Amino acid sequence: MAFDPSNGFVASSDVPGLADELLPIFDVEQVQLQFSIAADFVSAQTANNVLILALSNGRILRIDLNKPEDIDDIDLPKKPTEVGVIRRMFLDPTASHLIICTSQGENYYLHSQSRHPRPLARLRGVSIESIAWNPSLPTASTREILIGASDGNVYEGYIEHSTEFYRKEEKYLKVLHKLPDGPVTGLWVDTLPGAGTDTRRIVISTQSRLFHLVGKVGKNDGSGSIYSKLFEVEQPVVHELPRSSAATAAASDLVISPDTPQDTSRPHDGEVNERVFAWLSSHGIYHGQLLLSPFTSELGNKVFNEAQLLPRTQLMTPERSGGRRMTASNDYINAIALTHWHIISLIGDRVVAANRLTGEIVYDQVILNQGQKAIGLCVDIQKNTYWLFTTQEIFEIVPRDEDRDIWKIMLKLKKFDAALKHAHTPAQKDAVAMASGDYLLSKGQFNEAAGVYGKSSKPFEEVALAFIDHNQPDALRKYLLGKLSTFKKGYIMQRQMIASWLIEIFMAKLNSLDDTIITRAELSETLNPTQTREQLDAVRAEYQEFVNRHKSDLDRKTVYAVIGSHGREEELLYYADAINDYHFVLSYWVQRERWSEALRVLQRQTDPEVFYGYSTVLMTHVASELVDILMRQANLEPRNLIPALLEYDRNYKGPLSQNQAIRYLLYVVNQLQSSDSAVHNTLVSIYAAHPSTSKDESALLSYLESQGDEPRFDPDFALRLCIQHHRVLSCAHIYTSMGQYLQAVQLALAHDEIDLAIIVAERAHSNPPLRKKLWLAVAKKVISQSNGIKTAIDFLRRCDLLKIEDLIPFFPDFVVIDDFKEEICSALEEYSRNIDSLRREMDESAATAANIKVDIAALDQRYAIVEPGEKCYVCGLPLLSRQFFVFPCQHAFHSDCLGKRVLEQAGPGKAKRIRECQVQITKGLVKGRKREEMIGELDGLVGEACILCSEYAIKRIDEPFVKENEDKEEWAL
């Protein structure tokens, strides 16, 4: 990371405005501190964005780069004169644990939550050269760590932070192994994913040898060593350099690549997840990947076999920039650091970066001035930052898109998948795709080449002709599918042409496979007929997927023509079904009279027009099944199906109970409650016109009776049909429902349906004259058909309206009266009784009239006595003080008091009229006789009834006896 000037640091150089591809991959920027330093730097470390600087005066500066303005200034417990200057520091990747080593063998531990270094008593006198931190990266304590010393000893230690002064920091310290090679210059421990947390890998480096161990560690009970078992049981795999006198003079170090950046926008090859190691020796830089499998000792051999050496001489140049000659002291590499793809080397005053895949030098620049001394290179493996420290200055090595050329390298190495993953721009990906396709084509891997070519910009005609020349239709199909997916939706013509070509290729392939299966021939040397069937199913499934995905790119007529020319019925219908061309599918099955297939297609439809269009032909051949489907469709308009139903009924010769048209119409009428008169009229017409051998009208009559008094069919239309087809009962019912009882009776009598005529005549019970007329018509018919008087007499007893005298005109002139003498005598006696009853009623009426005349005469002399002290029943004042009303009930009221009460209790119309009369009388709007009439009308309205004992009192039943303004105590008993 580059420092933010606003946070206390200023980068010494910046190159704005240049495109990334024109800039060098690395840039070394000097960091200018915004505070003064009292002494030279003697050591430095960085991890997790925390920078630790050790000064020659024994001070330690701890800087959080996220908040660089806050600096922890820490002093060692003793002065440098007592313990020596700080020689080295080791900081774990989380920046939680810091181990400080001095030149006199004193070692201190400093936790990130503390400002006071604590001495490590057990490590006193141990000159630490390297440390391998615990792979789980704990923060509270170090847990089990490995420590490499300058005397070749490898220790296991456990250090935990403690605030108690008397307690030692190191929990335990144990010597695991001693190497005779001299200082242990590097240590690394990690776990192998998939092998369990107890399987670990240890890498140890000295100046001349590199060790690789894999094995299980002991249980971690917190009290003893866990690595002892591994060192005792496992034998390391060793990579050794030839011994030379110069080996001890050269620097030696072991570095590991940083964590993979958390950047999902650029997915890298899976190999990047495997860390890379680099071992600095006198011969150069030996580097390779720390492979993660197998979990045995063979892993070390595999790692070393795949590793390679970057010779020291390859990094040397004969002259520095500026023409200064290199001195002998600068013949060796001073320090190294690993990025994700490059090895950074500090050689004298130069920083050299080489690509670790090719060894190519990508950066070589003189950074240090003459006389400057470098402390070393540091890497923040979690934050991916790289630092160069001198005794007085800090430099940051900033990589800029360091994987920009990795795709080219992978391309040269024929690692096309890796090259494609590291290609960033479309042009780079296209170049990888073309190169990969050419390579696969040259190797005869046509299908693989087709998949790659489909994503490239290689000329379409070249690729297509190449596959055609090699007779590879499968590869051509795969290429066209890939190419089709690369065209945008706007390229309509191109997409349509390729899609149509693919249809042709699919059909040819399917026909070829079908021919192979039919002839039971071998498709190829490696494919038998059974496998051919499997391939046929796979190609058909691929075709169906293609149609579903690209149906919008296909021209309907072209596809029908191509598939039809190959005779592929199943594929043709699948395409039509995919584009919802159900008219085509239905017409296809109908033309071939395959009704079951047509019905299967029809029952999946929801468009009403499809049902209307094919209902006629389907009703003719599969009526029952079609009606089942129609009854499940709720969005149909039954009116539009009437032509199909009538056509079916015209050709139907079976019984009425199995007529499918009637079945559907009854469903519409009874279940859907249809009120469409066309539907009802159709049902009536089918019922009426059905050519049944019997005169059974029960079905039609049952329907007509179910319609009630407000039928939804046209009665005139139904009547004409019933008359035309001689449906007498139905005609009579329709006449009756229309109120035409006489016509109904006449029709029934015309067809000798006496009982029906009687039933109709009885229905006119609300019109006695009409009923008698109807009965007379029936009686006339009965008498004309009977042979004797007895029949007529029995019929007479069935109706209470008919008398013997009504029937006498219907008898022939030669009938002898003796045959019904008794009936005549009974009639005469009845007349006599009626005459006597009428005479009594007349006498009673005359007496009542006389009494009424007497009462009328007495009204003129009626009066009421008013006592002198009598008061108004409303206001309580003397009644004789002004005009008053007296009622027969002896209640008396002043005229104005009575008028007010009547206005309060009268209805709106009566109250309005009273007010109008009062206004016209008081204002003199009427005079003379008219005024007298209005006064009489007003008196009549006001004095119509007593307000205390008439219906006025009844209306006041909800009023309380005691009003709110009255004294309730007066009602106390």
Give the model confidence (pLDDT) of 131-180 as tens digits: 999 999 999 899 999 999 999 999 999 998 877 655 667 788 999 999 99
Predicted confidence (pLDDT) at residue 744 exceeds the cutoff of 90: no
Quote the pLDDT of residue 320. Answer: 42
With helix as H, strand as E and coil as C, how does 428-452 read?
HHHHHHHHHHHHHHHCCCHHHHHHH
Instruction: Using CB atoms within 10 Å of the CB of residue 825, give its burial: 0 to 12 exposed, 13 to 18 middle, 19+ buried.
Output: exposed
Antiparallel, parallel or unpaired: β 237-240 and 253-256:
unpaired
Please tell me which of 316-325, 421-430, 573-582, 584-593 the model is most confident about, judged by mean pLDDT: 421-430
Whole-number Å distance between alpha carbons of 107 and 84: 11
Name the average pLDDT for the chain: 82
Write out the two tokens for 493. Answer: 């013509």
Long-range residue pairs from 955-961, CB within 8 A, at least 24 positions apart, any chain? 955/905, 956/905
Residue appearing with tokens 């004789």:
880
**Is pLDDT above 60 for 830?**
yes
What confidence tens digit (pLDDT) does each residue in 538-568 have?
A: 888 888 888 888 888 888 899 889 988 988 8
Residue 771 carries which DSSP code? H
Inter-residue contact 407 to 432 (CB < 8 Å): yes
Question: Percent of the chain at pLDDT above 90?
Answer: 26
- What gap in Å lies between CA 427 and CA 601, rounded to an integer? 49
Q: Is the pLDDT of residue 966 over 70?
A: yes
- Summarised one tens digit per residue, pLDDT across range 173-202 is 999 999 998 899 999 999 998 887 889 999
Mean pLDDT of the 529-537 span: 82
Of the candidate ranges 469-473, 612-616, 744-748, the one whose mean pLDDT is the lowest: 744-748
**Ranked by mean pLDDT, which of 33-37, 78-82, 105-109, 889-893 comes out on top?**
105-109
Q: How confident is the model at residue 148, as a pLDDT?
A: 96
Give the pLDDT confidence score for residue 460 in this predicted structure: 87
The percent of residues in the chain predicted with pLDDT above 70, rounded, is: 82
ω before 294 within 30° of 0 (cis)?
yes
Distance in angstroms (rounded) separating the CA atoms of residues 833 and 347: 154
Q: 627: exposed, middle or buried (C-beta count within 10 Å: 0-12, 13-18, 19+)?
A: buried
Q: Label residue 267 by pLDDT band (50, 70, 90).
A: very low
pLDDT in tens, 483-532: 888 888 888 899 999 899 999 988 988 888 888 887 765 444 455 677 88
pLDDT of 253: 94
190: left (phi over 0), alpha (psi -120 to 50) or beta: beta
Crossing angle of helices 529-550 and 492-519, in 10° steps, is: 160
Identify the band that residue 764 occupies on the pLDDT scale cut at 50, 70 and 90.
low
Predicted pLDDT of residue 142: 92
Phi and psi, residue 139, nearest 5°: -110, -30
What pLDDT score was predicted for residue 754?
A: 65
More confident residue, 735 or 330: 735
**Distances 684 to 660, 703, 714, 717, 729 between C-alpha atoms, Å:** 14, 8, 9, 9, 14
pLDDT for the residue numbered 265: 43
Identify the pLDDT of residue 21. 61
Among candidates 109, 175, 111, which has minimal Cα distance to 148? 175
pLDDT at 862: 73
Does the pLDDT at position 4 exceed 60? no
Rounded to an integer, the average pLDDT of 234-249 is 78
The sheet with strand 361-366 has its strands ordered as 335-338, 342-347, 350-355, 361-366
User: Cα–Cα distance between 99 and 232 in angstroms, integer?
Assistant: 28
Among 32-46, 102-116, 298-312, 813-827, the range scoring the smallest mean pLDDT is: 813-827
Give SS3 for 564: helix
Nearest to 202 by CA among 147, 132, 286: 132
* 346: phi then psi, degrees, rounded to nearest 5: -105, 110
Q: pLDDT-based confidence at 100, cuts 50/70/90? A: very high
pLDDT for residue 50:
94
What is the per-residue pLDDT across 289-334, written as a single tens digit (0 to 9) for each?
Answer: 999 888 888 999 999 999 999 998 888 764 444 444 444 444 689 9
The per-residue pLDDT for 317 is 62
| Model confidence pLDDT, tens digit, residues 396-423 | 999 988 888 888 888 888 888 888 888 8
Q: Look at residue 219 in the predicted model and tell me its pLDDT.
A: 82
Q: Tell me the β-bridge partners of 350.
A: 347, 366
Tens-digit pLDDT profile for residues 651-703: 888 787 788 888 888 888 888 888 888 888 888 888 777 776 456 677 777 77
Query: Which of 148-162, 698-712, 900-914 has maximum average pLDDT?
Result: 148-162
> Residue range 58-65: average pLDDT?
92
For residues 862 and 103, the model is more confident at 103
pLDDT at 5 > cutoff 50: no
Look at 715 and 638; give whichever has higher pLDDT: 638
Question: What amino acid is encoded at 662 in this protein?
Answer: I
Q: Following DSSP, what letter does each residue of 869-919 receive, concatenated?
A: T-B-TTT-SBGGGS-EEE-TTS-EEEHHHHHHHHHHHS-HHHHHHHHHHHH
H or E, element range at 64: strand 59-64
Write out pLDDT tens, residues 382-392: 999 999 999 99
Closest CA to 660 of 706, 606, 620: 620
Q: Are 55 and 43 in contact (CB under 8 A)?
A: no
Residue 264 has a pLDDT of 40
